[in-house]
Copies of this chain bind each other. A is one copy, B any other.
Amino acid sequence: MFRATISSLLHLVLDEEYVLIAFGYEDAALDVRFTYRVDLMHLSTKSTQQQSKNQSQTKAVAVAAAYQKAVGWAALDSSGILSPFHFTRRANGDNDITMKILYCGICHSDLHMTTNTFGFSSYPMIPGGLKGIEVASEEVRGGKGGERAGVGDGEAAGDEELPEEELVGVGSKEEGHEIVGVVTKVGCKVNKFKVGDKAGVGGFIGSCGTCTSCQNNLENYCTKVTHTATIFGGAEEEKNYGGFSDIMVVDEHFAIRFPNSLSLEGGAPLLGGGITVYSPMKYFGLNEAGKHLGVVGLGGLGHLAVKFAKAFGMKVTVISTSPNKKEEAIGRLGADSFLVSSDTMQMQAAMNTMDGILDTVSAAHPFNPLIRLLKCNGKLILLGAGVADIEKPIDLAVLLTAGRKLIAGSNSGGMKETQEMIDFAGKHNIVADVEVIPIDYINTAMKRLAKGDIRYRFVIDIGNTLTA
């Protein structure tokens, strides 16, 4: 719908800070919740107020939009190469906060998205972003009360081109991105935040608000969920650009309060990987002390699963194809035991011992050996976005039926649970093991991620390294 009316937009440069877009009432069917309410407010304080009013008279109603300039690194095609990209975010609405982004994690699902594994990637793509109309730009106003050294007032955005290099792109699946920063603006109806607060944004920044999932605090399963970064194709004007960028504007409902006790860079991955493991643990009852949890794959998700499970008081067994991860799993992360999945003797000995398994592996792999590890009533939870390989379908049904076992999928968590997760992490000091990198290292980082050469999460130091 918007595509049909974009040509009617009238751009009026109000001053250096704002761009005014006015158009006729026939566009009223657009989703104006954020953009236009705010714009009218701006209009009332701007020198062009009269001009707009004149338009309003001639066209029945005139509205205008003010945007904030932003810069990020975007993948432009399925080669996935990231390069600097200038765009705008919407003005800060009544219910919005604007954040200066300080850190952003890189999720393994980015590999799927920028290489277009699932065939629906949409370019240009900046992981983490906002649904809205992004036409022009506004200079970023830095946070006034950044509490952390190095956060500062964020003079990040501008028109300056960033240096280019060969890049491997990133994308986003639903578990999406892991953005933390400091609040720089709050709308007049914002309750949860004040300027200077630390805030976090995960894989989505909007939902319908009315469906059963939304009403049950499961916005992540809303079929109309707005991903932080647009992953499906769509009109250019409706695209969201994500967290590999300098600022973020988001309805406060979709931002979480970040605990003061938690490291920002270590905590950032919790907003993607952390909630992705925490939510199914809670929903499927795999968070009870004394229960035995298997964790397949010791990567970004897997190492967080081990940490949460140990904080819950569980027995944890890491299941991996890599024998050399044993020392890491047990010695450093505190897992109780370790299984090499290719070792049939080990796997045989561990049959019927686990209450649940979190399977974080994205590569093709068989389910049946995992189902055999489960006790009666055991639960195999798929978290990886990749291809599953069920070698003998008959075995699947027989194995499930014989022990009332189940295979389920889980994808991120709702906002309420994400806040609960980060508060739990703050209490138990659970952070990801991270390698903090500058923005211009992300392409190398993606290559290393593709090879599994990271323990366990890359986190981009946006605040100190992304300059326009």
* Known A213-B376, A376-B213; contact A411-B407, beta-carbon cutoff 8 A: no
For residue A352, CB closer than 8 A to chain B, the reply is yes
A446-459 interface mask toward B, CB cutoff 8 Å, 1 = contact, 0 = none?
Answer: 00000000000000
* Known A376-B213, A396-B390; contact A408-B409, beta-carbon cutoff 8 A: no
Of B223, B404, B410, B411, the residue contacting A352 (CB under 8 A) is B223
Whether the Cβ atoms of A382 and B404 lie closer than 8 Å is no
Whether the Cβ atoms of A408 and B400 lie closer than 8 Å is yes
* Known A396-B388, A397-B384; contact A404-B212, beta-carbon cutoff 8 A: no
Least distance between A112 CB and chain B CB atoms (Å): 11
Query: How many residues from A make CB contacts under 8 Å with B?
Result: 42
Whether the Cβ atoms of B411 and A404 lie closer than 8 Å is yes
Whether the Cβ atoms of B411 and A408 lie closer than 8 Å is no
Whether the Cβ atoms of A405 and B399 lie closer than 8 Å is no
For residue A349, CB closer than 8 A to chain B, the reply is no
Whether the Cβ atoms of B387 and A393 lie closer than 8 Å is yes
A176-210 interface mask toward B, CB cutoff 8 Å, 1 = contact, 0 = none?
Answer: 00000000000000000000000000000000000
For residue A385, CB closer than 8 A to chain B, the reply is yes
Find chain B residues with CB under 8 A from A397 CB. Answer: 382, 384-388, 409
A101-150 residues with Cβ-Cβ distance < 8 A to B are 118
In the bound complex, what is the Cα–Cα distance between A213 and B402 (angstroms)? 12
Find chain B residues with CB under 8 A from A40 CB. Answer: none
Find chain B residues with CB under 8 A from A10 CB. Answer: none
For residue A9, CB closer than 8 A to chain B, the reply is no
In the bound complex, what is the Cα–Cα distance between A411 and B383 (angstroms)? 27
**Helix, strand, loop or mixed for chain A's interface?**
mixed
Whether the Cβ atoms of B390 and A390 lie closer than 8 Å is yes
Whether the Cβ atoms of A402 and B393 lie closer than 8 Å is no
Q: Give the number of times this chain occurs in the complex, counting copies.
A: 2
Least distance between A143 CB and chain B CB atoms (Å): 36
* Known A212-B375, A218-B376; contact A404-B410, beta-carbon cutoff 8 A: yes
Find chain B residues with CB under 8 A from A398 CB. Answer: 118, 385, 409
In the bound complex, what is the Cα–Cα distance between A16 and B396 (angstroms)? 52
In the bound complex, what is the Cα–Cα distance between A399 and B411 (angstroms)? 11
Find chain B residues with CB under 8 A from A388 CB. Answer: 393-394, 396-397
Whether the Cβ atoms of B409 and A376 lie closer than 8 Å is no
In the bound complex, what is the Cα–Cα distance between A403 and B397 (angstroms)? 21
Find chain B residues with CB under 8 A from A409 CB. Answer: 397-406
In the bound complex, what is the Cα–Cα distance between A339 and B92 (angstroms)? 48
Whether the Cβ atoms of A406 and B407 lie closer than 8 Å is yes
In the bound complex, what is the Cα–Cα distance between A283 and B406 (angstroms)? 12
In the bound complex, what is the Cα–Cα distance between A379 and B387 (angstroms)? 21
For residue A389, CB closer than 8 A to chain B, the reply is yes
For residue A85, CB closer than 8 A to chain B, the reply is no
Find chain B residues with CB under 8 A from A384 CB. Answer: 397
For residue A308, CB closer than 8 A to chain B, the reply is no
Find chain B residues with CB under 8 A from A403 CB. Answer: 221, 409
Least distance between A59 CB and chain B CB atoms (Å): 40
* Known A396-B388, A397-B384; contact A404-B223, beta-carbon cutoff 8 A: no
Report, nearest first, the 9 A-B pairs whose CB atoms are least far apart.
A400-B409, A401-B409, A406-B408, A388-B397, A221-B376, A387-B394, A388-B393, A406-B406, A401-B411
